[in-house]
Amino acid sequence: MIRINNQDEYQHYYTQALNEPNEFWSEVASSFTWRKPWTSVSTGDFENLDIKWFNGAELNITENCLDRHLKTQPHKTAIIFEPNNPDSATRTFTYKELHTEVCRAANMLKQQNVKKGDVVCFYMSMIPELLIGVLACARIGAVHSVVFGGFSSKALSDRINDCKAKVLITNDSGFRGTKEVLLKNICDKALETSPSISTVIIKKHSGSPVNLKSNRDFWWDELTNKITSSDCLPEVMQAEDPLFILYTSGSTGKPKGLLHTTAGYMVFAQYSFENVFQMKSDNDIFWCTADIGWITGHSYITYGPLLAGVTQVMFEGVPNWPDAGRFWQTIDKHKVTHFYTAPTAIRALEACDINLVKKQNLSSLKVLGSVGEPINVEAWDWYNKNVGHKNCPIVDTWWQTETGGIMISPLAGITNTIPCFAMSPLPGVQLKLMDAQGQVVEENGVEGNLVITAPWPSIARTIYGDHNRYKDVYFSDYKGTYFTGDGAKRDDNGFYRIIGRVDDVMNVSGHRIGTAEVEDALNQHPQVVESAVVGYPHNIKGQGIYAYIICLNKCEGEALKTELLDTVTQQIGAFAKPDKIQVVSGLPKTRSGKIMRRILRKVANNDTSDLGDTSTLLNPEIVEEVMKRNTL
């Protein structure tokens, strides 16, 4: 492993990774447990897109997350589970105990006939069995596909069908604050249209009643109780064998199943975790508040911290229950030293009673992190002052589902930060900014589209089942480079500030949602003829969703609104519900029939002073109507 300890080392390694990438990555990878060494560090490029890292190597990622720590620190706490209800008991797992649980679950999956390469889907609460189940898959070479528990049965079914998952693992129901989510019921509904699933395994969690379908549904506890062996030899995996699929939204079409492979993802997860967060003491405690249903929970709950052998908190609940002090109380309760959350949570809590944060001690904190969306200055200052007591570096970490790990970030305590800046790429990450003409912008003090010019170990290797789409979405805008979809500013000193998406992807409370997905959902309503969805700035969510719709008949306000919101909840999930809906008689279109989103965006932003060139519009008269902004 390479651990960067100061700014000089950062410069040194940045240069080494650029000029001698093989030497650099070999050194990073040297500390892992390999069953067989690699024959080449990296092959392939962004032209042929047959990218391979550590090819020829054999390994198992769970051997690196668990077994290797058993020799040195078997009794160190791996997971401190903080349940939804603060009065319920905390559960802890040492590395040894977690190893045992993962092995038992792995043996259970084997007994259910899960084989290397099979896809196992998870639709679960943030409970230890989710993490255990995911690692159990990796133990036996099954590919996990975690679907966030806030998705609807329709969205779950779509994702299961896309990757033809064989087994579905869920729990009876889960609580998020006071709200009960009937996960098993939602699974039952999804499975009406998902024939690939032959087995459902249910972890009993809330105790709420569920229907069991015979020969299909089994209780997790009954199956694992029958397992006698608490050891399971790790399946020996090839470096490029698939590790997981994770769905994410794009600017067009259905969500994409990004496929991550074993060795490169593993190496980058630990490398980025250790260098960004800089956990130094054995008593340091990490807490990432993300859900394992998103990439942040994959790389910085399930894999990164365990690979690094640290202690972490896993949290089932929500930031505002029993009150908006839950994060701060939990930090004190478990003496969290490294806290990683999203700007949307910071903004929401900033809007609550300040005494909830003031009354907590928070003196255990050493490092704060931010992820998922651009952080605004007010939130950054509030986080720094009220949570960090101006004593904790803030690492604003930019990355994506596609990148597998953190790409641009300060290194905690090493990089001098500028508020709201992600600062500089990690050594091994090569960035450029492109202008509208597709030319590289070399100078500083500019904005441009953010691209990555060379492969890094944890880049997603393909979109599952659609390699052409992968090429098209990421590598066709700028030939030979990976286009992130984000815009960024590079200041006079070469430091980066991420501006946000430049495509039709919205970021709503840190949830990545395609405008096309919400449009497709709205169009399912029988009254909707056509719709257009754009994001607009929202105080707490970062972005809100503004939907313009054309209706078939006369539209009745409240009733229609409720129905439309229900439709989106059913098609995607409640988190994708539009904040504003405006019924219009037409949408501004070009002569070639394209919706002029620029105009809709400006109207939704309430910034109509300059609508730009509207001369190519087929129906310019519609602009005036749209500008009325009379939402339902």
In the complex, the residues that contact ligand 7RM under the rule CB under 6 A are 248, 294-296, 370-374, 396-401, 422, 484-486, 498, 500-501, 507, 512
* Location of structure tokens 């999956």: 109
Pick 309 or 372: Cβ nearer ligand 7RM: 372
Cis-peptide into 457, omega within 30 deg: no
**Rounded least distance, CB 368 to ligand 7RM, Å:** 13
Pick 294 or 456: Cβ nearer ligand 7RM: 294
* Interatomic CA distance for residues 261 and 240, integer angstroms: 5
Pick 160 or 498: Cβ nearer ligand 7RM: 498
Cβ pair 312, 301 in contact under 8 A: yes
* Location of structure tokens 């969205």: 155
Pick 261 or 509: Cβ nearer ligand 7RM: 509
Pick 254 or 333: Cβ nearer ligand 7RM: 254
**Rounded least distance, CB 423 to ligand 7RM, Å:** 10
- Cα 279 to the chain's mean position, in Å? 22
One-letter amino acid of 120: V
Pick 239 or 505: Cβ nearer ligand 7RM: 505
Pick 335 or 469: Cβ nearer ligand 7RM: 469
Cβ pair 315, 286 in contact under 8 A: no
Beta bridge partners of 257: 247
**Rounded least distance, CB 309 to ligand 7RM, Å:** 23
**Rounded least distance, CB 258 to ligand 7RM, Å:** 9
Helix segments in 74-213, DSSP class H: 95-111, 128-140, 153-163, 183-191
Cβ pair 143, 190 in contact under 8 A: no
* Interatomic CA distance for residues 361 and 434, integer angstroms: 45
Pick 227 or 516: Cβ nearer ligand 7RM: 516
CA distances to 36, 75, 246, 307, 501 from 32, in Å: 11, 20, 24, 9, 35
Pick 44 or 500: Cβ nearer ligand 7RM: 500
**Rounded least distance, CB 485 to ligand 7RM, Å:** 5
* Location of structure tokens 């499975």: 191
Tokens of 129: 């069995």
Q: 10 Å Cβ neighbour count for 555?
A: 17
Pick 308 or 498: Cβ nearer ligand 7RM: 498
DSSP 472-486: HHHHTTTTTSEEEEE
**Rounded least distance, CB 337 to ligand 7RM, Å:** 21
**Rounded least distance, CB 488 to ligand 7RM, Å:** 9
**Rounded least distance, CB 249 to ligand 7RM, Å:** 8
Sign of CA pseudo-dihedral 210, 214, 215, 221: positive
**Rounded least distance, CB 497 to ligand 7RM, Å:** 8
Pick 370 or 386: Cβ nearer ligand 7RM: 370
Pick 325 or 485: Cβ nearer ligand 7RM: 485
**Rounded least distance, CB 146 to ligand 7RM, Å:** 13
* Interatomic CA distance for residues 534 and 547, integer angstroms: 7
Kindly state the greatest CA–CA separation across the chain: 74
Task: Print burial letters for 433-471: b (CB count within 10 Å at least 16), e (below 16).
Answer: bbeeeeeebeeeeeebbbbbebbbbbbbbbbbebeebbb
Tokens of 435: 């202008």
Tokens of 497: 């500030």
**Rounded least distance, CB 30 to ligand 7RM, Å:** 27
Beta bridge partners of 312: 79, 286
Helix segments in 115-259, DSSP class H: 128-140, 153-163, 183-191, 220-225
* Interatomic CA distance for residues 54 and 38, integer angstroms: 5
**Rounded least distance, CB 365 to ligand 7RM, Å:** 19
